[in-house]
Amino acid sequence: MMALPTQLAVRGSSALLTPAGAYTAPHLLTIAKCISTCPALRPAALGRRPFSTTAPSAPAESVLAPYHITWSPPSESDLSVRPVLVIGAGNLGRRIATVWASNSRPVVLYDSSLAALASATEYITDSLASYCALRSTHPGHVTTTTSLQSAADGNAEATPWMIIDCLPEDLELKKRALAEVNQHLKDDCILATNSASFRAELLSDAVPETARGRLVNTHYFIPPRNRMVEIMSTTHTCEAETMFPFLAEQMRRVGLEPVIVPPGLQSTGFVFNRVWAAVKRETLAVVKEGVATPKDVDALFRDFFHAGKGPCERMDEVGLDRIMEVEKVYLEERPELGSQSVVEWLGKEYVSKGKLGEKGSSGDGLFSKQEREELKTMRRLHKQVEVEETEGA
């Protein structure tokens, strides 16, 4: 059993941490409001890949909303007290929670693992104040819990106005969590999934017909550095003309930039990941075949695109296990991609050996931990030279 500290230091403030109990007991933690002047980080993103959509044009309205239910957005006063519930405290879940907690917004972060919540708490403590300082906003309360029911029915906070699924890319796992949490939510709560590969449509049978109209994809990248979010409907999404503008406006308030796939269109991989999937696939094939090392691939990529990072370093950031699972989904839908050997190689040479990238215990991935540190040092020195050249101009 893992012991957690009984008090957590937060920049500009402090928050009491409930002493850790048994793994089976609900665990709550509040990160108090705080203000800081620390700078925040940022870099860039990538591109390339054509996936076919399943609908060349928007279907008839009768197809789009067979169970049409009127949806109304929560009021401003509701938004100040009703939290966003993030399900999954992993690498992306904690980052998404940080962004939504800016601008004085309450957030509840759920995970079944106390260790994951402890790690997420450390990240949020270090990052939330910096992100708010960058945007001149004030942090909201972040509460963590191991009880999904209390998070959903308002025992941890007020009932959520939106839930965001940030669980691993396992369709059945996502369905089970969605079915469980939906039992305790109000009937106006937006059901969003951050899945990188599954269309929300594939989750619709996990909830009653009356709830399917609130099910959407909201695909984040690596916030708060990457601010873009893709929004996509299902064939059941109700009131998209009301829900999507509302959701886009709320995202902009916390510093995000939404891109909306036209309602009715279904696209596995959404927009950017259809482009990025081809880059990942060919990068891994080049490394697998011994055509080039990860170091050489990334050096070419950085030079040509004037990018801060190349595809290998970015895949190490996301986690090679997640990269593998996403590619499996694409391959299952489109066997003609022919990337089975690449997936098997990635699993055998990296994932099975615990070489997951930054998230792994060793920190090794396509790059070793030491090589990534050297790349970070190189970027800092390059940035310093740019500043000196500017000052001398």
pLDDT tier at 264, thresholds 50, 70, 90: confident
pLDDT higher than 60, residue 250: yes
pLDDT higher than 80, residue 30: no
Q: What is the mean pLDDT of residues 299-322?
A: 95
pLDDT mean across residues, the chain: 83
Q: What is the mean pLDDT of residues 36-65?
A: 42
Nearest to 226 by CA among 45, 40, 46, 94: 45
pLDDT at 341: 96
pLDDT at 86: 98
pLDDT tier at 65, thresholds 50, 70, 90: very low
Helical ranges in 7-161 per DSSP H: 61-64, 76-81, 91-100, 114-135, 148-153
- Quick one: tokens of 392? 């001398």
Q: Which helix (H) or strand (E) is 322 found in, with range?
A: helix 320-333
pLDDT higher than 50, residue 44: no
User: Per-residue DSSP letters for 231-294?
Assistant: EE--TT---HHHHHHHHHHHHHHTT-EEEEPPTT---TTTTHHHHHHHHHHHHHHHHHTTSS-H
Nearest to 312 by CA among 338, 344, 346, 335: 346
Q: Which residue has the higher pLDDT, 23 or 337?
A: 337
Q: What is the mean pLDDT of residues 287-292?
A: 98
pLDDT higher than 70, residue 392: no
Which residues, including other chains, have CB under 8 Å from residue 341's CB and lie 6 or more apart? 288
pLDDT at 255: 96
pLDDT at 9: 33
Q: Which residue has the higher pLDDT, 225 or 157?
A: 225
* Gap between the Cα atoms of 193 and 329, Å rounded: 16
Q: What's the burial of 199, exposed, middle or buried (CB within 10 Å: 0-12/13-18/19+)?
A: buried
Q: Which of 10-14, 42-46, 262-266 has the lowest mean pLDDT?
A: 10-14
Domains in the chain: ranges and CATH = 7-260 (3.40.50.720), 272-391 (1.10.1040.10)
Q: Which helix (H) or strand (E) is 143 found in, with range?
A: strand 142-145
- Quick one: tokens of 332? 């299952």
Q: Which residue has the higher pLDDT, 367 or 25?
A: 367
* For the ranges 115-119, 223-227, 334-338, the one whose mean pLDDT is highest: 115-119
> Residue 344: helix, strand or coil by DSSP?
helix
For residue 59, which amino acid is it? P
pLDDT higher than 70, residue 369: yes
Phi-psi region of 293 (alpha: psi -120 to 50; beta: other; left: phi over 0): beta
pLDDT at 18: 34
Q: Which residue has the higher pLDDT, 370 or 269?
A: 370
pLDDT tier at 177, thresholds 50, 70, 90: very high
